[in-house]
Amino acid sequence: MSRIPRIVILGAGYGGIVTAIGLQKELNYNEADVTLVNKHDYHYITTHLHMPAAGTDNPENARVDISKLIDEFKIDFVKSTVVQIRPHDKKIILEDSTLSYDYLVVGLGGEPETFGIPGLREYAMNIRSINSVRLIREHIEYQFAKFKREPGRTDYITFVVGGAGFTGIEFIGELADRVPELCREFDVDPALVKIYNIEASPTALPGFDPELVEYAMQVLSKKGVVFKIASAIKECTPDGVVLMDGEVIKSGTVVWTGGVRGNRMLEEAGFETMRGRIVVDQMLRTKEFDNVYVVGDCSIVLNEDGKPYPPTAQIATQQGEIVAYNLVAAIRNTPMKEFKFINRGVVASLGKNEAIGVVGDRKFKGTVAAMLKKAVDIRYLYKIGGIPLVIKKGRL
Ligand code: FAD
Ligand code: NAD
């Protein structure tokens, strides 16, 4: 390759933006042409989205202009939607143009996994982007406004969250905090509002520390959440949900947090995938093409037991750092680094000033865990945008 190599990064989420920032720090002038493509001209802090979705925070706080994070003298930013990946031709088809690459980084994030459950795609909402959470927030307020016109319709103020994984639990914690505020604003008796969290597994937060799960359920139940555990959603309709045992819950608002899969474009591109995600090698490359790297929710990294690590911002960020390193190594023909996930712990919020977490072998709950959650958030903001971003978006 005698000309300057071209690196294209698809997606400016956790994996993509950290890759781009790593490359802009490491690459010398004229070592590579780097292009970052993203649907929007902002990066969103997905780990905050449960708050604007419930209306306990402004969506503006969960977005950061990409121009504030990258050096546009070093990285070309293209605001566009990727419609096709053609790894054999080394081309990316965008909605309005085509890009060629020598090295590709795929960081397009995940999509809601609906497991083919009828009606979920059509009638349920998802927490996945700034636009999707704006819709949920506005929809919830509209339900309260509609209820004032039709006071017999308690289904308008019945809220169903499908799935009690971390996304479902974090969202329902915020929603339970928001409801009393909405009741005051719309003069609605709080006793009439119902919030259901429906989980198919025999426990909420399957696989997480049972004592902390118990604590989370107590905190959320006290705030008015009704859990239906070991009770799968079988169908979603315009009027609510139908559960496995035939129970029907009438609700004007169904938020589906039942899991994520990789981006459909990866299957269409011919990569071998599992639930839309690509199993990568230790350098984070695909099996089929050693010039294609995958980060974040589009990738699968297996642990020592051969089981996939859960798709998280934590792993996406660590992958972004390694991919940047390995791309520089590929260009300079120096040794690459193997990816090893460092588990820094898991902390999940349960609404204002309440959280649960496990770091190493230590458990945390209540305000201490909530402070820990804030520290994790601040650490990420500092990593991508330094102190100015911490001050601007850190909700200090
Ligand atoms: P994303 O961050 O989803 O970014 C993908 C990017 O690609 C986006 O910018 C998107 O606009 C862009 N894109 C998508 N399709 C296209 C296209 N066709 N063309 C152009 N651009 C496109 N994980 C944790 O570790 N800790 C947490 O506390 C935590 N909290 C969470 C809270 C919530 C409410 C949710 C929903 C998730 C949470 N997660 C958390 C999981 C974490 O957010 C994801 O694992 C992480 O965002 C994945 O990063 P990513 O880089 O793969 O993709
Ligand atoms: P998930 O896959 O972790 O949880 C989905 C839940 O939905 C599961 O408990 C599953 O049993 C349940 N479910 C599936 N089908 C169902 C059905 N038909 N009816 C009822 N329940 C059903 O998905 P998630 O919560 O969106 O999390 C996605 C990823 O993001 C995970 O890796 C998670 O760890 C990560 N995340 C982390 C945090 C945090 O660290 N604070 C917060 C949010 C998300």
- Given ligand 2 and candidates 117, 199, 344, 346, which is best to mutate, with the most ligand atoms within 8 Å of its CB? 199
* Confidence category of residue 394, pLDDT binned at 50, 70, 90: confident
Total-model pTM = 0.96
What tens digit of pLDDT does each residue of 7-26 get? 999 999 999 999 999 999 99
Residue nearest to atom 2 of ligand 1 (CA): 13
Query: Residue 1 pLDDT more than 70?
Result: no
- How much is the average pLDDT of 333-337? 97
Sheet of 33-38, strand order: 75-79, 33-38, 6-10, 103-106, 292-294
Q: Which ligand is nearest to the CA of 106?
A: 1
Residue nearest to atom 37 of ligand 2 (CA): 166
d(CA 133, CA 52): 6
What tens digit of pLDDT does each residue of 351-383 get? 999 999 999 999 999 999 999 999 999 999 998
Measure 309 CA to ligand 1 centroid, in angstroms: 15
Give the residue ranges of DSSP H helices in the chain. Answer: 14-26, 50-54, 120-123, 130-149, 166-186, 210-222, 264-268, 313-332, 366-393
**158: enclosing H helix or E strand:** strand 158-162
304, two tokens: 């020592």
Q: Which ligand is nearest to the CA of 213?
A: 2
- How much is the average pLDDT of 76-91? 98
DSSP letters for 13-82: SHHHHHHHHHHHHHPPTTS-EEEEEESSSEEE-GGGTHHHHHTSS-GGGGEEEGGGTS-TTTEEEEE--E
Of ligand 1's atoms, which has the minimum distance to the CA of residue 49?
A: 34
Residue nearest to atom 33 of ligand 1 (CA): 47
Residue in 116, 112, 132 with CA at minimum distance from that of residue 235: 116
* Confidence category of residue 315, pLDDT binned at 50, 70, 90: very high
122 noted as active-site residue: no
d(CA 70, CA 93): 23
375, two tokens: 């520290």
Choose the catalytic residue: 72, 122, 170, 185. Answer: 170
49 CB under 6 A from ligand 2? Answer: no
Contact 273, 262 (CB under 8 A): yes
114 CB under 6 A from ligand 2? Answer: no
d(CA 292, CA 283): 10
Of ligand 1's atoms, which has the minimum distance to the CA of residue 299?
A: 52
173 CB under 6 A from ligand 2? Answer: no
- Taken in order of first residue, the domains within the chain and their CATH numbers are 6-110+262-344 (3.50.50.100), 120-256 (3.50.50.60)
Contact 106, 291 (CB under 8 A): no
